[in-house]
Amino acid sequence: MRRESVVEKGFFGDFGGSFIPEDLKSILDRIGEAFEKYKEDPDFLEEYCYYLKEYVGRENPLTFAKNLTEEVGGAKIYLKREDLNHTGAHKINNVLGQILLAKKIGAKRIIAETGAGQHGVATATACAMVGLPCTIYMGKKDTERQRLNVFRMELLGAEVVAVDKGRGRLKEAVDEAFGDLLKNHETTFYLIGSAVGPYPYPEMVKYFQAVISEESKRQILDKEGKLPTAVVACVGGGSNAIGSFAHYIDEKEVRLIGVEPAEAASISLGKPAVFHGYRSLTLLDEHGEALPTSSIAAGLDYQGVGPEHSYLHTTGRGEYVSVTGEEALEAFQQLSKTEGIIPALESSHAVSHAIKLAKELHQEDIIIVNLSGRGDKDVEQVFEMLK
């Protein structure tokens, strides 16, 4: 009975759940039970908040983009500065939360999988800080394309395993990580990097990323004395978006807008399917194989999306739009020139839509854009694309 009610919790309407073999499911249910317990535990939360402040550098600012607002003409644009976090993006919020949870439940080792390497680097970083060994699975093809990120993880003390199976991409790395967990579950914690995967990951990742909207809500009320008209965030797996929406979901007058890359638009173009162990809108072909995607932003180049976004989309609470790589590239340059802030290519998708939206709204309106990361990592790629 009890176990069933825990699994029930993993659903958002028809989406989410836990479509994995029974033995794996009972391992993840135990993680879910630990999460339910510790998320209310004052000592655990105090420790999490301590590291958010002293290691990540929170709280980060909600910056009024005065120059961009004037140039665009329309709603006021504010930027939530996840780019200023240690390691330069929002991913560390979640990684830190899960690692502290892993320590609480006595895990001796962390495993994770990574596509482009950003989640692997965040995981290796926090593992170095808390002194836990970690193994990062990465498709062999991906390790070849992201050699510097592999080296970064190794510098941080992680073991990177190149998975030479199938197409040598993220899917194979995920399978390998689940295999490791199944074999070593007594000692091992599997750290998932976005609001995806079977129960309890979507809830857990949202919980740890919700600090973004907890802060931004307090900050905007402080600065403007009212809630924003819209919150805009890019959507890959959906963790920075769900974190920046979380504290506004019950504020029905605040529009929640997720921005997908047009080249990997799982919500706009996907169909409901079970993929990587959970049900969501997904870009699959008729054989259930992942369709190729081609976003310029590695962090958004994914066929699936977190189940809660599929739910917010079908219930109409969230609005989901898409922006092309070309539009994102333009926004990347515009924000750099007007504000002296180089955004990640992922975040540039959100910036691009915010610029469009600001023009349609009025001067009394406020848009908060989640700047999920900084663009230093993308400068070389942009240089090649603009040549």
Binding site for ligand PLP (CB under 6 A): 89, 91, 118, 194, 234-241, 299-300, 344, 346-347, 372-373
Residue closer to ligand PLP (CB basis): 7 or 150: 150
From the list 239, 266, 322, 372, the catalytic residue is: 372
Q: How far is the CB of 63 from ligand PLP (least distance, A)?
A: 16
Which strands make up the sheet holding 230-234, listed edge to edge?
62-64, 76-81, 366-371, 230-234, 255-261, 318-323
Residue 320: enclosing H or E segment and its boundaries? strand 318-323
Residue 91: active-site member? yes
Tokens matching residue 281 = 């809108």
Q: How far is the CB of 344 from ligand PLP (least distance, A)?
A: 4
CB-closest chain residue to ligand PLP: 373
From the list 113, 176, 215, 339, the catalytic residue is: 113
Q: How far is the CB of 306 from ligand PLP (least distance, A)?
A: 7
| Pairwise CA distance, residues 150 & 78, whole Å | 34
| Pairwise CA distance, residues 1 & 356, whole Å | 50
Q: How far is the CB of 373 from ligand PLP (least distance, A)?
A: 2
Residue closer to ligand PLP (CB basis): 188 or 239: 239
Tokens matching residue 87 = 């390691």
The DSSP bridge partners found for residue 323 are 261
Residue closer to ligand PLP (CB basis): 89 or 163: 89
Tokens matching residue 103 = 């320590």
**Which CA distances in Å does 131 have to 125, 166, 222?**
10, 33, 38
Residue 217: active-site member? no
From the list 25, 76, 80, 91, the catalytic residue is: 91
Rg (CA), the chain: 20
Residue closer to ligand PLP (CB basis): 110 or 344: 344
On whether the CB atoms of residues 259 and 234 are closer than 8 A, the answer is yes
Residue 113: active-site member? yes
Residues labelled catalytic = 91, 113, 372
